[in-house]
Structure formats: C-alpha cells, structure tokens
Structure 1
C-alpha cells in the first residue's frame, strides 16, 4: 500500500495489518507518534484493517463450506475472485478436481479466462478448463495418505484445512441396523454449559437449543450432525451427549445411511468438543 500524507510532516501506511508512520520520505518509525494516534486518516486505516480481516475470514469460511460439501464451483467464479488477495490466499494449494474425478491436483494459479493451473500428483503442472471445479472433502480423496505425503514434499500449506483435516470412516456393520446415535465422545464433562457452548462456537459450529450442530451436503443430500450439550439456560456442570444425524426435514438418519462426509464431519465435531473436557487429576482420575 502507498504512503499517505498525514499532519505534522508524517506519512502513514499499512504494514502487515497495522498502521505505521514515517517522516515524509524518511525511514519507517518503530512506533506511531502520539500526534497521529487519533488522526482521522489513522482511524480510517484501522477500520480498513478490520474490514480486510473480516473479508479474509469470510473467504476462508466460504472455501471451507465448498470443500465440506464438495460442491462444484463454476470455474468462471474462481477466475473472477482470484485477483483478490484474500480469495487467492484461501484457494491457493487446495486440492481440486475438474472433469475427471480421479485426477487430483493442487491449485496454483487461475487465468483471467478461467484456465486452472494445477500441480498433479506426478509433480507436473497441467492446465485445466472445466466448466466447474470441485474442492473434495479429504474423506473422498483416494489414497489420501499418498496425497498428504506428496503435499509435504511440495511444502504445501493450506489456509483451509483440507488434506490434513482429521477424518473418520464409518465402520461397516459396527452398529445395530436401527441405531441412530453414536456415543464414542459422550460423557465429556465441562464446568458449565456456557463453557461447552462457547467451545462449540469457537470451533465454528452452530449452537441451537441444547445442541451443537454442523450441516453438510453429502452426495446432494443435506444432513445435519448434532451433539447434545445441555439445556440452554442451565448454569451448572454439563457434559457432551450422543451424536446423531438428521435430514433436512428433521428426521433421524440411521447410522448405516449416513454419508461419508456427514459421518466424518459429525465425528470430527464430537471429538473436538470432547477434547476440551475437564480432565480429572489424582488417584481417583
């Protein structure tokens, strides 16, 4: 960002998200001079920084939503947002799939006319021009361990947790045919229901009534996973309850009918909530 003229012979700009100053044409100062701390231009830059932070977070959240639901995204849309640094940061190095679902590559660049430049799993840079592109959930990626190893060799880092996202696979015939709940992560005790709800919110999950929930679209079907966290206005100790899934009409889904993405994301939510439980210490722990 260019330097802007302020009062008292100073110039100001943004540097890594904070307002910095210098004497006109001089070296950058270590601290912001007192004379500038309440300056209108400084306040404007601070508000711009806050907006940029919100915008970057919104971009990451949107890319995460595309990935969790494995939704096909118009390539033209990706090309339109790519010049925006926040969008580019969220999208770069995401594993993507074009017309061939078996050809996975890491997104490195997008041209103005919608051509994708990706590094495939052979280490070759290839150009793709599909009508839509999918950011697959990692549980859907074949040979996920190989993909992770290759990403490590390339030094790939992702703003949106995808290839290193914790995943769970639904065990075959491990539950009764009519079962609708999993209790693997039930019984995690918290000092208060408020603390448990706050943890759910901080993890990016919605709290509705007595449940922490996450919604995904799995194979074109909307499914919501939910974990009981206690009555909304209860102010005493609370603990995690059972995990279940419901369809978009609120009906319980049998465990053997839960899709792979919905299963993985539901278990991921339940495990993350349980991980914050109070750990007893001492001989009776």
Structure 2
C-alpha cells in the first residue's frame, strides 16, 4: 500500500500492520516518524487505516483457522482453489511451506509457490522442485506423514516456518496394547485446578469448545466425524476443579472403544488433554 496524504505536511500508510506517518516538508521530509504526530491521531484517514488493519488481522486469522481445519482433517482441497487464493497475501502467507501431497501419497513436499499456469511448485525431500497439478491436494496431519522426522530435519535446513502448526505439531500414537473394552484414557485424570472457570477459559483460549462439563475437540478422521472430550467440572461451579478421563464419541454420540479411534482423532484428543493438563496446579512441599 502506498502513502496517503493526511493533513498538511504528512502522509500515512500501513506498515507491518500499524499506521505509520512521514513528513512531506521540512528537514524530516520523506523520513518515517517514530510515532504518529498528535494532530494525526484523530484524523479520518488514520481511523480508516486502523479499521483496515483490524480487518486484515481478522482475515489472516480466518485463513489460519480454515487451513488448520483442512490440515487436521486431511481434507482434499481443490488445486484450483489453492491457485485462486494464492493471489491473496494473507492466504499465501498461511499456505506457503506447508507439506502437501498430490496424487502420489508417498511424494510429500513443501509448497513454495504457484506458477502462472496454475501448477503448484513443491520442494520434495530430495531437494528438487517439482510441479504438481492434481485435481486435489491434501495437507496431511503430521501423524499421517511417514517421513515426519526427515521433513522436520529438511525444514530446518531450508529455514521453513509454518503459520499453521503442522510438521512441528505434537503428536501421539495410539498404543497397540489397549484393552478390548477400554473407552477412556486416564493418563491426565485427577489433575487439579484452582478454578473451574479458569480451566474452561484455558480450554477456550487454546481453541477448544466448552460444552456442559466438557472441553471438546471435533476431528474428521478418515472421513468420519469424531469428537474427543475431557471432563473439566460442573458448569457454573466457581470452586476448584479436577480433570476427568479422555474419551471419543462418534457422530451419533456413541462412546468409541479406544481400539476404534483413528490415528488423527487419537493424536488430537491427546494433544488437547495434554495442553489442559499443563496448566494444572502444582503442589509444593514435602507432601506434594
């Protein structure tokens, strides 16, 4: 965005998401000022740019949320859609450097660019830039990436940073020795918190939904809708609270045996429970 005239002797612009000003006359002409002059703070053009900056921030968050949904659920995304939104800087900043997979599930690579002819430029683990033009691509959940360790190492070499947490996302693999009738993980149960409201607020701040006495996380795993839930205490109780077990329900509300929980749903449910558990009250002293 270019510089806009704002009153006598000043121009303003959005710089790194904030309204900046520069003088157009005098010894400081053309030099960016460290702060907005007092006479500009209530200027209509300044207010307009502030509203634009707020909208752009919301737009970026919307892009992050949508791409995170695609990734967590490993949903197929039309390649044409990726090409279309790539023109938008906000979308581009979120999609760039995510691991994508086209027609060959064994060929994963980092999305670096889109060509003028509508192909995706992807850097694979061999360090080669290849062009992909499948009907759809997926942004796989990291638990589904067999070469995750290699991708993490290669990302460090490339200096890759991701706006959506993908390859460095914490993952959990479902154990093989689960009981046939087991329906609940108790690893995090019993963690104590000073306030149920505080625990609910922690869940919400981490992006999870609080419904009744549960913190929940909805996931699509292999095309099936699954909801992970952790007990966090009775609603409207303003005293201390204690985490309960972690379980998974299908779309009809049936509690799933742990052996039926898919790899993505398992990992995301455990990730939620671990994130809540990390905020528990730590007792000190010899009796802790």
TM-score under structure 1 length normalisation:
0.98
Alignment partner of 1:242 is 2:236: no
Distance of 2:9 and 2:151 partners within structure 1: 55
Is the aligned partner of 1:256 residue 2:255?
no
**2:160 counterpart (156, 160, 167):** 156
SS in 2 for 1:156: coil
Between the aligned partners of 1:167 and 1:151, the Cα distance in structure 2 is 17
Q: Which residue in 2 is equivalent to 1:79? A: 83
The aligned runs of 1:197-212 (5 Å cut-off) are 197-212=200-215
**Comparing 109-118 and 119-128, the one that deviates more:** 109-118
SS of alignment partner, residue 11 of structure 1: strand
Offset, 1:112 = 4.3
Superposed CA deviations along residues 157-181 of structure 1, whole A, max 9, x for unmatched, are 11110001000000002x3211111
State the Cα distance separating 1:281 from its structure 2 match.
Answer: 1.4
Matched, 1:15 2:2: no
Conserved 8 A contact 1:78-1:114: no
Residues paired across the two proteins, number: 284
Instruction: Give the secondary-structure state (helix, strand or coil) at the position aligned to 1:264.
Output: helix
Q: What SS does the corresponding residue of 2:254 show, helix, strand or coil?
A: coil
C-alpha separation between the residues in 1 aligned to 2:228 and 2:138? Answer: 23
Match of 2:183 in 1: 180
Distance in structure 1 (CA, Å) of the matches to 2:135 and 2:192: 49
Aligned match of 2:53 in 49, 52, 60? 49
User: Residue 114 of structure 1: CA displacement?
Assistant: 2.5
Distance 2:63 2:168 in 1: 19
Q: 1:229 aligns with which of 226, 232, 244?
A: 232
- TM-score, structure 2 as length reference: 0.97
How far off its partner does 1:40 sit?
A: 1.0
Unaligned runs of 5+ in 2: none
Find the aligned partners of 1:210 and 1:112 in 2 and give their Cα distance: 51
Match of residue 6 from structure 2:
6
Rounded to whole Å, the distance in 2 between the matches of 1:127 and 1:209 is 48
Question: Within the alignment, does 1:278 sit opposite 2:276 as a pair?
Answer: no
SS of alignment partner, residue 222 of structure 1: strand
* Alignment of structure 1 residues 38-117 onto 2, 5 Å: 38-117=42-121
2:146 aligned counterpart, secondary structure: coil
Post-superposition offset of 1:8: 2.7
